[in-house]
Amino acid sequence: MDHLIAASVVIGDRNYRIKLDPKDEEVVRRTVKIINDKIVEFKTHFAGKDMQDYIAMVLIWLATEQSHTANNDIQKEALADKLNALESLLDAGGQE
């Protein structure tokens, strides 16, 4: 992180100046777009008093998505371990 660049992002009609690694810029911009798209989606489907309500809804959605992704990764890892163990059993049985 020796060479950070300044970037400006807009979330929920507010401008934020951030510093980021140039290699992360595309991911950050895509994430900001997802956040703003979700804000618009929640504004059309749910009642809220102000932008903070919609940002909170997006935050809950995003955290839940991250949790689901982490759970899926854990399940994939467990399945890979079981498949490797099964493969080892099959290999050992074929050597007899």
Q: What pairs with residue 20 in β-bridges?
A: 5
**How high is the pLDDT of residue 94?**
64
Q: Quickly state the pLDDT bin for 32 (edges 50, 70, 90).
A: very high
Confidence check: pLDDT of 86 > 90: no
Phi then psi dihedrals of residue 9, to 5 deg: -125, 150
**44-77 residue pLDDT tens:** 998 878 999 999 999 999 999 877 676 677 777 8
Beta carbons within 10 angstroms of residue 89's beta carbon = 10
The structure's pTM equals 0.66
Domain boundaries, the chain: 25-94
Best mean pLDDT range from 34-38, 69-73, 80-84, 90-94: 34-38
